Amino acid sequence: MTKLFAYVAIGAGLLLPSVSALAQSAPEAATAVAAAIPNKGDTAWMTVATVLVILMTIPGLALFYGGLVRSKNMLSVLMQVFVVTALIYVLWVIYGYTFTFTGGSPFIGGMDKLFFKGITPDSIAATFSKGVVIPELTFAAFQATFAAITCTLIVGAFAERARFSAVLLFCALWFTFSYMPVAHMVWYWDGPDAITDAASLETVTAAAGWLWAKGALDFAGGTVVHINAAVAGLVGAYVIGKRTGYGKESMAPHSLTLTMVGAALLWVGWFGFNAGSNLEANGVTALAFVNTLVATAAATLSWIAGEALSKGKASMLGAASGAVAGLVAITPACGFVGPMGAIVIGLLAGLICLWGVNGLKRLLGADDSLDVFGVHGVGGILGALLTGVFAAPSLGGTGVYDYVANAVNPDYSIAGQVWIQFQAVATTIVWSAVVSYIAYKLVDLVIGLRVTEEEEREGLDISSHGETAYHR
Amino acid sequence: MKLITAIIKPFKLDEVREALSQIGVQGITVTEVKGFGRQKGHTELYRGAEYVVDFLPKVKIEAAVDAEHVDRAIEAIEGSARTGKIGDGKIFVYDLEQVVRIRTGETGPEAL
């Protein structure tokens, strides 16, 4: 996806020799600025896709999470998701975009576009097709929504006990030191336009993010979004500690109706997230769309089947959780695998994430309130690894595109790709865990991570926000 | 005068109200309550977390009746609230010292 550098139109003639050569050979374009022009259809689609990802976060994720907590903490969850979203949008425009999507080092971008410097309505961003571009503002806005949803995913792990100001400070720190570098490592590259031969490919690869250069495949954010956020959540659940009364008192969800509404909005919005990650409107967009349809459906079915077989009943919460598990697992794979591969990934995600919130959760012993790690961590890791398997052309995948030959590379090694995927997964886990641990400790020193036990018992709606979700 | 308090299954409320109306009871007060008795609760499962729900929802009805009508009222409640399964509820009868109709100031059986 989502990895491309963007440059202003003036510089594009130098950066895009193949494109400018084409333009000059066409008489009517000879006098025009020698740069690709965004297609109206692509631009319109990417604008819609951006709105869909916004919908995923608020209200989608907010309601999905909100329904899962006790009624006395409903507004605190809605607030944390809503306000973290707002915070990240602002940070993204100020410094997030430049450190993520400009060249610098393999681990973090540079400061060329601090405060969106130099980005105008005429600036363009590359896609995965040579000569196809979209407005850079569209690309940057689309990416802002990814940064925001990643940070808001974390709050589910320490829901019902974290101090509101601590959540905001933590998210700002984590966004800066984990989201930005990991997104840069996985997604940043100059775009395909400059690649004409082995030498130019080497130049582009050398300037790209560390994991991108290794060849890690992450179409829409299995590592960057889901594993990254889930590890931060799990570390948070350990550092902040269990909810008062955990394991003794009932902490049953207060509204699975709202959780279902939230999960359904997530599913709808995820079409923007996954299919939009192709950055243009073409056949790969349609492939990502179909995979988002079927992997999610398959995971819903396998989760409730597993539940019915092991516990005797299929539940609404199981169906909603299965859908999210499927969405998470197909995220890194959606533009690389075929629909049958997507169904297999979905079926496995439903079953393995069901284990993630049961057996694995007991094993880990943390009070990850809303199972951020069990669903997003486990599903993200599974999806990232299986991307390496089902991207294989022999298993119905698209393979890896060779921009020098301008064709799919006929050599695809499943074992080799899975090893690369594993490195991306391991890097993300370690990076996020270290950054999260330090950031939580720092916030604990400065503000204090937890509310008092009295405030927790009263409920965060009243004690942190001075209002009540439901009046009787 | 007697005060009858009955704990019944919520879905039996309409039948009980009808049976009491038929024997001339002029009014009842209804409260939604929770409690436990010999009917066991149930377990709810949310992902990995299992919760035992001990307190089941019931309806409490209160009716004040003349002493001479009390047996018929008890029979009416019994007959209409019974399913024969565990958890049908209980009827409690108390002596009622005084009744006042607030609008007119009437007291005693006239106020019923």
Alpha-carbon gap: A394 to the closest alpha carbon of chain B (Å)? 37
**d(C-alpha A349, C-alpha A354), whole Å:** 8
**d(C-alpha A429, C-alpha A234), whole Å:** 11
Alpha-carbon gap: A358 to the closest alpha carbon of chain B (Å)? 5
The answer to whether B44 faces chain A, any CB pair under 8 Å, is yes
- For A254, the closest chain B residue by CA position comes to B46
**d(C-alpha A62, C-alpha A149), whole Å:** 10
The answer to whether A361 faces chain B, any CB pair under 8 Å, is yes
- pLDDT at res. B38: 86
Buried b (16+ CB within 10 A) or exposed e, A105-131: ebebbeeebeebeebeebbbbbbbbbe
**d(C-alpha A167, C-alpha A152), whole Å:** 10
- pLDDT at res. B42: 87
- For A252, the closest chain B residue by CA position comes to B46
Regions in chain B scoring below 50 on pLDDT: none
- pLDDT at res. B14: 96
**Which one of B42, B46, B50 makes the best mutation probe of the A interface by having the most chain A beta carbons within 10 Å?**
B46
Alpha-carbon gap: B34 to the closest alpha carbon of chain A (Å)? 16
Contacts of residue A414, defined as CB under 8 A and 6 or more positions apart, other chains included, come to: A388, A389, A392, A395
Do β-strands B89-95 and B29-35 pair in parallel, antiparallel, or remain unpaired?
A: unpaired
For residue A89, give both structure tokens.
């949008």
Would you call A371 and B47 a contact, using CB atoms and an 8 Å cutoff?
yes
Would you call B44 and A252 a contact, using CB atoms and an 8 Å cutoff?
yes
- pLDDT at res. B48: 83
Residues of A (300-319) whose Cβ lies below 8 Å from B: 311, 313, 315, 317-318
Do β-strands A124-126 and A133-135 pair in parallel, antiparallel, or remain unpaired?
A: antiparallel
Alpha-carbon gap: B60 to the closest alpha carbon of chain A (Å)? 20
- pLDDT at res. A23: 39
Alpha-carbon gap: B95 to the closest alpha carbon of chain A (Å)? 34
Mapping DSSP onto H, E and C, the string for chain A reads CCCCCEECHHHHHHHCHHHHHHHHHCHHHCCCCCCCCCCHHHHHHHHHHHHHHHHHHHHHHHHHHHHHCCHHHHHHHHHHHHHHHHHHHHHHHHHHHHHHHCCECCCCECCCCHHHCCCCCCCEEECCCCCCEEEHHHHHHHHHHHHHHHHHHHCCCCCCCECHHHHHHHHHHHHHHHHHHHHHHHHCCCCCCCCCCHHHHHHHHHHCCHHHHHCCCCCCCHHHHHHHHHHHHHHHHHHHCCCCCCCCCCCCCCCHHHHHHHHHHHHHHHHHHHHHCCCCCCHHHHHHHHHHHHHHHHHHHHHHHHHHHHHCCCCHHHHHHHHHHHHHHHCCCCCCCCHHHHHHHHHHHHHHHHHHCCHHHHHHCCCCCCCHHHHHHHHHHHHHHHHHHHCCHHHCCCCCEECCCCEECCCCCHHHHHHHHHHHHHHHHHHHHHHHHHHHHHHHHHCCCECCHHHHHHCHHHHHHCCCCCCC
- pLDDT at res. A31: 41
- For A361, the closest chain B residue by CA position comes to B48
The total number of residues written for chain B in this structure: 112
- pLDDT at res. A187: 97
**d(C-alpha B92, C-alpha B89), whole Å:** 10
- pLDDT at res. A339: 98
The answer to whether B51 faces chain A, any CB pair under 8 Å, is yes
**Which one of B42, B43, B45, B47 makes the best mutation probe of the A interface by having the most chain A beta carbons within 10 Å?**
B47
**d(C-alpha A44, C-alpha A50), whole Å:** 10
ipTM summary value:
0.76
Residue of A96, A94, A111 lying closest to A179 (CA atoms): A96
CA A52 → CA A23, A60, A158, distances in Å? 34, 10, 26
- pLDDT at res. A22: 39
Q: Report CA torsion sign: B82, B85, B88, B91.
A: positive
Q: Which of A252, A253, A361 comes nearest B48 by C-beta?
A: A361
The answer to whether B105 faces chain A, any CB pair under 8 Å, is no
**d(C-alpha A326, C-alpha A308), whole Å:** 18
Radius of gyration of chain B (CA): 17
**d(C-alpha A84, C-alpha A167), whole Å:** 8
The one-digit pLDDT tens for each residue of chain A (472 residues) are: 444 443 333 333 333 334 333 334 444 434 444 568 999 999 999 999 999 999 999 999 999 999 999 999 999 999 999 999 999 999 999 999 999 999 989 999 999 999 999 999 999 999 999 999 999 999 999 999 999 999 999 999 999 999 999 999 999 999 999 999 999 999 999 999 999 999 999 999 999 999 999 999 999 999 999 999 999 999 999 999 999 999 889 999 999 999 999 999 999 999 999 999 999 999 999 999 999 999 999 999 999 999 999 999 999 999 999 999 999 999 999 999 999 999 999 999 999 999 999 999 999 999 999 999 999 999 999 999 999 999 999 999 999 999 999 999 999 999 999 999 999 999 999 999 999 999 999 999 999 999 999 999 999 999 999 999 998 7
Specify whether the CB–CB gap between A69 and A77 falls below 8 A: yes
Give the helix/strand (H/E) hosting B57: strand B56-65
